[in-house]
Amino acid sequence: MKMYLLMPTIGRTVEIENFILSVGKRASSVQLLIADQNAPGFIETQKLYECSENIDLHYFHSEQKGLSSNRNLLLSKLDSQEGIIAFPDDDCLYYEDTLDLVISFFEDNPDVDVLLGCIYDRSCDKYLFKKWPRKRLIVNYLNVYFMSSSITIFVRKPNLHKFDPVLGAGAEYGACEDPDYLYGLLKKGYKIVYDPSIQVWHPAPDYHKISLDKVYSYAKGFGYFVRKDIDAFKILLLVLLISKKLFQLVFKSKNFPVKYFKMYFSGLIHGFLRKHS
């Protein structure tokens, strides 16, 4: 079963080479599609092809900016043959067994359309970014937000469902392209399963150093996501998140940068009302 890895990139070179190395023994069954948003010449394409000699590499220079827009660009380059689509970041890595486990799962579970894994650092035995569940689960409207990270999404082809281009890094609403993508698949009736044995590595975030602009942008993305096709599940999610932030404001405000909550709630409101910056 062939893997189609769709990677938009901007501002990185060495990390891409490291990712290619992490694909390892599965290289011969992998097609890597790269959408380069950098200025021409930033990435040395010849060097890229040299380090990808065992991979079916397809390189595209993209004039448009934005993670979701460029994932959609790469989706449009795929054929209708069967396989598995993934969306690695340009600074993530696969473990040696990641792709083997993904392929085995789809072969053993022909009724499953989408597989979700987790972000995990095996060097320190630690889950990253969120509290990932420790057991396999069926994904539904109630839990999809808490298990969504685009680099851990694996989709059975020929499903070519697109991302909302106004969501995600580099877009007007800077987050939540991944839960929005999965929410759309659930609405189409696709079966989604989460399995914690599917692990991907990504640099650990330092939330204490996050810029206020990013806080605003991420919150704005969440507000837009909730308002888009709003339903009872999204209202519940909104209530839960606002309650969490109010608790942090009252009891843990010293752990956050000055003006963090002002920027967060401002972004949330603007995203929900779909106001432009």
Domain check: are 97 and 220 in the same one?
A: no
Task: Enumerate helices (H) and strands (E) in the chain, giving the number of each.
Answer: 8, 10
Residue 235: give the domain boundaries.
207-273
Percent helix, strand, coil in the chain, to 5, is: 40, 20, 40
DSSP state of 90: T
Asked if 114 and 153 touch (Cβ cutoff 8 Å), the reply is: yes
Domain check: are 179 and 229 in the same one?
A: no
Residue 241 pLDDT > 60: yes
Q: What is the CATH number of the domain that holds 76?
A: 3.90.550.10
Task: Choose the final residue of a domain: 201, 228, 258.
Answer: 201
Domain check: are 245 and 216 in the same one?
A: yes
Domain check: are 143 and 224 in the same one?
A: no
Q: What is the structure's pLDDT at 237?
A: 97
Instruction: Please tell me the pTM assigned to this model.
Output: 0.94
Domain check: are 123 and 172 in the same one?
A: yes
Question: Which pLDDT band, with edges at 50, 70 and 90, does 132 fall under?
Answer: very high
Distance CA 268, CA 117 (A): 28
Name the domain count of the chain: 2
For 217-252, b where at least 16 C-beta lie within 10 A, e where not — what string? bbbbbbbbbbebeeeebbeebbeebeeebeeeeeee
Domain check: are 138 and 171 in the same one?
A: yes
Domain check: are 190 and 82 in the same one?
A: yes
Task: Choose the final residue of a domain: 201, 220, 252.
Answer: 201
Q: Which residues contact 273 (CB under 8 A, 6 or more apart)?
A: 223, 227
Domain check: are 184 and 236 in the same one?
A: no
Residue 100 pLDDT > 90: yes
Q: Which residues contact 96 (CB under 8 A, 6 or more apart)?
A: 22, 24, 25
Task: Choose the final residue of a domain: 159, 180, 201.
Answer: 201
Residue 257 pLDDT > 60: yes
Write the pLDDT tens digit of every residue in 169-194: 999 999 999 999 999 999 999 999 99
Asked if 274 and 227 touch (Cβ cutoff 8 Å), the reply is: yes
Which of 13-27, 111-125, 208-222 is predicted least confidently? 13-27
Question: Would you call 33 helix, strand, or coil by DSSP?
Answer: strand
Question: Which pLDDT band, with edges at 50, 70 and 90, does 36 fall under?
Answer: very high
Domain check: are 79 and 147 in the same one?
A: yes
Q: What is the structure's pLDDT at 26?
A: 74
Rg of the Cα atoms in the chain: 19
Q: What is the structure's pLDDT at 54?
A: 82
Question: Which pLDDT band, with edges at 50, 70 and 90, does 198 fall under?
Answer: very high
Domain check: are 121 and 58 in the same one?
A: yes
Question: Which pLDDT band, with edges at 50, 70 and 90, does 275 fall under?
Answer: low
Question: Which pLDDT band, with edges at 50, 70 and 90, does 4 fall under?
Answer: very high
- Find the mean pLDDT for residues 16-42: 89
Domain check: are 87 and 147 in the same one?
A: yes
Write the pLDDT tens digit of every residue in 57-95: 999 999 999 999 999 999 999 987 889 999 999 999 999
Q: What is the structure's pLDDT at 277?
A: 54
Q: Average model confidence (pLDDT) for the chain?
A: 94
Q: What is the structure's pLDDT at 151?
A: 98
